Amino acid sequence: MEKIEKFVILVSFITSFSTVFLIYSTILATPTIGKDFAMNNVVQNWIITIFLMILAAFTIPSGQICGKFGCKKIFVAGCLVIILGLIVSCISISPEMFLASRVIHGIGLALYLVAETAMLVLAIDKKHRGKSLGLVIVGTYLGYTTSPLIAGFLINNFGWRSIYYFILPFMIVCTIFTFLKIDEEWITNENDKMDLIGSLLYVIGICLFIYGFSDLLTFTGKLSVIIGILTLVIFGIYEYRHERPVFKIKLFKNKTFAAYNLTGFFALFAMAVFDVIFNYYYQYAKGWDPQFTGYILIISSIILAIISPNAGRLSDRILPQKISTMGLVILLIPIVGLIFLDVNTPTYIVIIAMALLAVGTGFFSIPNTNAVVSSVSDECAPYAAATQITLRSCGQTLSLGLLTLICSFVMGNLPLSQENAGLLVASSRIIAVICTVLCIVAIVFSIWGIRSDKSQIE
């Protein structure tokens, strides 16, 4: 590997760790934050949902921004925005201020995630790509492994704000290192004009749709979904006809690219919610504190850290989506099992289900990423990265939106608490039924992608 490739991998390793720690430490802290700000279950669930919604909304514009101004510049800009958001989180004095900080987190993450993915694709030789993604994912799963322990300890002993103080030095060091050590900019579409109208239509459409989906029981929610869908349809028509679109819809003419991206969308829709469900189950149904909950959650993190790098390396030798499909089949087993979850379900059964979800995720994630980025030319890499991250983010956001929707339906405006644990578990069972269907849909798209790959080779 060349020197610049090693620097890109190192920077991606640090940001991958920081990203995962930010996401999962916030999930672990959500009950404490909700209690601190006296939130009901709907507002509390928006702590995660609003972050993912903004991430999904700003990822597509970030792809065009990276291509025009350079991946390095946008990566550094994203890191600086995250630093600002972390500072706001630390000094928040109201629910509104804290949720605003989550919006800033989402914007910053959208910028640097797209830039990071594009840099990895453009800087690293294709034959080493799976291995490199595997090395980067070690940082991701180091975050998975350590965040339950570190965050649980910090929350219990220093309060929830301490998790954001903890991340700050990593982001500052990463920003300085990138600025000083990486010279390449990777500008792929310098002469393209910014598609401001398309970007605006997309941001408005996706935000309205996701907000409405989360609040679908109300008239406002239904109206938001309808307006959001109409706006996204207009966006699609506009982008298809635009000479320099922010979202390259024509990439979806590549059946392999389309199938693998849709696989990622439905897979994340099906599985993302369970990170929160397990956390809630342990803290509310079992009555565990954040620190002990962290000790249990680390089981799945260790499994992910072991399987994912090896799955990445394996995807350099075997058709990546075959490995990914195997992961989805494994995922389906515990999701079906969680349909029968109860407050009195033995803890070891819940832990086994959590472990199986981790095994399935480990085999799915990196091979699917490798399959997507390898199905397009280098020139389209920033757009492909943005598309993949956006669809996955939309899947995650809708998954969390599903939690908000079902909890609202079952619990009304009751707060999440040990007293209401039975209602929370009832909500989880309904969610498991829906996610079973979504996982099956993901498997169908994955098989379609494999067949499309074979037909292109032939």
The fraction of the chain above a pLDDT of 70, given in percent, is: 94
Regarding whether 367 and 262 lie in a shared domain, the answer is yes
pLDDT, tens digit (0-9, with 9 covering 90-100), for 147-180: 888 999 999 999 999 999 999 999 999 899 888 8
3-state helix/strand/coil string of 23-80: HHHHHHHHHHHHHHCCCCHHHHHHHHHHHHHHHHHHHHHHHHHHHHHCHHHHHHHHHH
Q: Quick one: CA torsion of 12, 141, 135, 79, rounded to 10 degrees?
A: 0
In sequence order, the 6+-apart residues with CB closer than 8 A to the CB of 344 are none
Give the pLDDT confidence score for residue 92 in this predicted structure: 94
Give the pLDDT confidence score for residue 457 in this predicted structure: 43
pLDDT, tens digit (0-9, with 9 covering 90-100), for 118-154: 788 777 776 666 667 667 777 877 787 788 889 999 9
Query: How far out from the chain centre does Cα 212 lie?
Result: 20
pLDDT, tens digit (0-9, with 9 covering 90-100), for 223-244: 999 999 999 999 989 988 887 7
CA-based nearest residue to 221, from 58, 48, 428, 408: 408
Regarding whether 98 and 50 lie in a shared domain, the answer is yes
Q: Per mean pLDDT, which of 13-17, 210-214, 428-432 is the most reliable?
A: 428-432
Give the pLDDT confidence score for residue 381 in this predicted structure: 65
Give the pLDDT confidence score for residue 130 in this predicted structure: 66
Regarding whether 76 and 52 lie in a shared domain, the answer is yes
Give the pLDDT confidence score for residue 127 in this predicted structure: 67
Give the pLDDT confidence score for residue 169 in this predicted structure: 94
Q: Which of 101-105, 346-350, 365-369, 445-449 has the lowest mean pLDDT?
A: 365-369
Q: Per mean pLDDT, which of 237-241, 246-250, 387-391 is the most reliable?
A: 237-241
Regarding whether 324 and 226 lie in a shared domain, the answer is no
H-type alpha helices, 70-195: 71-90, 95-123, 129-158, 162-181
Regarding whether 269 and 363 lie in a shared domain, the answer is yes
Question: What is the chain's mean pLDDT, rounded?
Answer: 86
Distance, CA of 190 to CA of 184 (rounded, Å): 14
The tokens of 63 are what? 């792809």
CA angle 195, 201, 206 (to 5 degrees): 125
In sequence order, the 6+-apart residues with CB closer than 8 A to the CB of 395 are 264, 265, 266, 267, 268, 269, 270, 272
Regarding whether 161 and 213 lie in a shared domain, the answer is no
Find the CATH number of the domain harbouring 261.
Answer: 1.20.1250.20
The fraction of the chain above a pLDDT of 90, given in percent, is: 41
CB-based contact 65:380 (threshold 8 Å): no
Give the pLDDT confidence score for residue 397 in this predicted structure: 85
Give the pLDDT confidence score for residue 456 in this predicted structure: 52
84 pLDDT tier (thresholds 50, 70, 90):
very high
Q: Which of 32-36, 56-60, 354-358 has the lowest mean pLDDT?
A: 56-60
Give the pLDDT confidence score for residue 96 in this predicted structure: 93
Give the pLDDT confidence score for residue 322 in this predicted structure: 86
348 pLDDT tier (thresholds 50, 70, 90):
very high
Range of the domain at 74: 3-195+244-457
Regarding whether 201 and 169 lie in a shared domain, the answer is no
How many separate domains does the chain show?
2
Residue 250 pLDDT greater than 60, yes or no: yes
Regarding whether 156 and 7 lie in a shared domain, the answer is yes
